[in-house]
Structure 1
Amino acid sequence: NLLAGGDESAAGLEISFGGLQLRFADERIVAWCGGGFDVRIGSTSLPAGHRALARAGDELKFNHAQSGCRCWLAISGGIDVPFVLGSRATDLRASFGGFNGRALRDGDAIRLGTRPGSAIPAATISSWSAPKPWSQTASSTPILRFVRGADWNSFSASMLQRFTSESFGVSSDSDRMGVRLAGPELQRTDDVDLISEAVAPGTIQVPPGGQLILLLGDCQTIGGYPKIAHVVTVDLGIAAQLRPGDTVRFREISLTEAHRLLFEREQELERFRIGLSLQNK
């Protein structure tokens, strides 16, 4: 949204695995980031983290992802859909919010909000791009950093060693709610029933079968499975790009280090905001 010259909270589009094609009815600034997609306006390539001008009649096409599985598109003015429970997002499982509570279909007409008043001079379009960490995709076998979860000590040293030393495969039974991982079975040292507690995106749960579930953006708010670890905030974008057949590993860091990484990312984003605001004057 910053690159597109709009409000940071404006609604955009999430594209999974590609295949989206849009035709613009009027002039808009567009920008996208995420996985390894081939994106084009007409015959012109639009790299991740760059912005471009789409004129009336132009077609924007997202070809199928070569790496990763998701990307996000911002359009100046934002997607004009109603607020539901304080958000413009879509809950596909519950079929509400967003664009009629469903995914887009062929032939849909998407309403856009009012365009910002020349927030970005035409001469500067495409001359700015997002910092590399905001537009890079995950490696073929990413290492997700984590801090210990509430139930870390419920697992034996040998189980914890397997968790941090072995690879896990991404199951086809994964979605925006969570990534199911196939790998070494991790079992607790006891079988005491747990009271359901708060969970969040990044929480790694261990169901009775011992196969991990890494929770993502559409996860529930409470869960009763043991919580062995929590992926740090700065690595959630990498986790969101995991696709069936990928492998992933985990590495422990301290809570202090997790806070430092998040602080550095926010500092970089703030520098980017300032740079854009200076150029747009």
Structure 2
Amino acid sequence: MGIRVLKAGMLTTVQDLGRTGYQSQGFSVAGVMDKRSFKIANLLLDNPENEAVLEFTLIGPTLQFTSETIIAITGGDFQPTINGKPAPMYTAIYMYRGDTLRFGSARTGSRGYIAFSSYLDIPVVMGSRCTNLKSGIGGFKGRKLQDEDYIGFRIKRRYLPFFLSRTLELDEFDQQEEEIRVIMGPQEGQFSKQGVKTFLSEAYTVTNEFDRMGCRLEGPFIAPKDSSDIISDGIAFGSIQVPSHGKPIILLADRQTTGGYAKIATVASVDIPKVVQRKTDHKLTFKAISVEEAQKLYLEEEKGLTEMRNQIHRPCKEVLECRLVAKRVAKLLNG
């Protein structure tokens, strides 16, 4: 009862929101790169918010189902098919035993997600099911998936309330140039006024040095006052380091826990999906906002997710009619 990996794709791993509380011991948080797509996938299936999913990069996997379940596909458009026919995204899809789900290369975005109503049978390690590739812990044997791997399901769950209404109309990650909102600091003062001006006014290009650890950008030199070296301190998801070569590096899910280069800014959490869904040669520009503005944007995003949940849970007329008939039949049978 589960899924067989016929083809693993370029980089397919088990991920959730990450392994928190262990950075002081040198373990990165890891977890999904695009938290918004991850949350929507689980939302579509009434899963717990932190239920583990499969995350895949640039080229998706091919999976065969050995039992029935319901799935949701979110993130970039990897042109999914089920038994050779196009499969919808942002929709709850019933999968039958023997069905084959196949993904191609990313048409838009660069990372995709699959959630499962039956929950992946992955052990919890240090409070999380996510894969930490550098430490080799968590997920499926601490590594990316390989051809012929098999992952079971933890439960039998093949029914969702209001199943007919579980579709969201979203068009994500189609832009080749994005404005990324950032909170300046914590070491903004390490850079010259001209360096800060360059960072906020010039476009930067995503290079092929882009993985789960970070995204290296190419573009105009960001000048420090003297040196960009600092005493190592903690690194957040979205921290933007500028080493001595003057080119920014955005640190992501598998980032190191501490670093010795000055951080000119940190990406607002709501814009991290825009970063992690970029491809090589895509452009990024940066706009400074306040902490209060970033908090407001976060609350608006949470409100949007709640509205999606309400939209999905809104009863369909057909479902309500079926329930009314069922109640009347039950009442008659019980006298």
Q: If the length of structure 1 is used for normalisation, what is the TM-score?
A: 0.91
Q: Which residue of 1 aligns with 2:31?
A: none
Contact 2:229 2:244 in 1 (8 A): no
For the pair 1:240 / 2:281, whether they are aligned, the reply is no
Residue type of the alignment partner of 1:78: Y
Question: Aligned partners of 2:200, 2:190: CA distance in 1, in Å?
Answer: 15
What SS does the aligned partner of 2:210 have?
A: coil
Alignment check: 8 A CA contact 2:206 2:279 kept: yes
Return the offset for 1:154.
2.1
Q: Which residue of 1 aligns with 2:180?
A: 144
Counterparts of 2:105 and 2:78, CA distance in 1: 6
Mapped pair 1:181 → 2:217: yes
Q: Does 1:222 align with 2:258?
A: yes
Q: Which amino acid aligns with 2:283?
A: T
Q: Equivalent of 1:130, from 168, 171, 190?
A: 168
Which residue type is aligned with residue 89 of structure 1? Answer: C
- Please give the residue correspondences for 1:95-106 in structure 2 after superposition, counting only pairs within 5 Å: 95-106=136-147
Number of aligned positions between the proteins? 276
CA displacement 1:56-75 (0-9 Å, x = unmatched): 11111111112221111101
Name which of 199, 207, 210 aligns with 2:235.
Answer: 199
Separation (CA, whole Å) in 1 of partners of 2:210 and 2:194: 27
Which residue of the partner structure matches residue 38 of structure 2? none
Q: 2:196 aligns with which of 160, 163, 173?
A: 160
Match of 1:50 in 2: 91
Letter in 2 for 1:185: F
Tell me, yes or no, if structure 1 residue 273 matches structure 2 residue 314.
Answer: no
1:66 paired to 2:102: no
Residue 120 of structure 1 corresponds to: 161
Give 1:19 shift.
3.5
Q: Distance in 2 between matches of 1:99 and 1:83?
A: 11
Residue 87 (structure 1) aligns with: 128
Give the Cα separation in 2 of the matches to 1:173 and 1:192: 21
The one-letter code of the counterpart of 1:12 is V
- Structure 2 residue aligned with 1:39: 80
Query: By how many angstroms is 1:37 displaced?
Result: 1.7
Structure 2: distance between partners of 1:233 and 1:129: 25
Q: Which moved more, 1:270-279 or 1:181-190?
A: 270-279
Percent of aligned pairs sharing the same letter: 36
Tell me how far 1:52 sits from its aligned partner.
1.0
Structure 2 counterpart of 1:14, which letter? Answer: E
1:201–1:217 CA contact under 8 A, matched in 2: yes
SS at match of 1:83: coil
Hey, what does 1:21 align to over in structure 2? 62
Structure 2 CA distance for aligned equivalents of residues 138 and 215 of structure 1: 23
| Structure 2, unpaired ranges of 5+ | 1-41, 321-335
Alignment match, 2:245: 209
Say if 1:198 and 1:222, in contact at 8 Å, map to a contact too.
Answer: yes
Task: Give the CA deviation at 1:138.
Answer: 4.8
Q: How much does 1:111 deviate?
A: 1.1
For residue 74 of structure 1, give the secondary structure of its aligned residue in structure 2.
Answer: strand
Q: Is the CA contact (8 Å cut-off) linking 1:21 and 1:60 kept in structure 2?
A: yes
Aligned structure 1 segments of 4 or more residues deviating by more than 6 angstroms: none
TM-score (norm 2): 0.77
Structure 2 counterpart SS, 1:220: coil
In our comparison, the structure showing a higher alpha carbon Rg is 2
State how far apart, in whole Å, the 2-side matches of 1:4 and 1:171 are: 35
Unmatched runs of 5 consecutive residues or more in structure 1 = none
Query: Larger % of helix: which?
Result: 2
1:36 offset after TM fit, Å? 2.6
- Residue type of the partner of 1:4? L
CA deviation string 1:232-252 (max 9, x = no partner): 010111111122222211111
Distance 1:149 1:121 in 2: 46
CA distance in 2, matches of 1:117, 1:33: 19
Aligned-residue offset at 1:30: 0.7
Name the amino acid aligned to 1:242: R
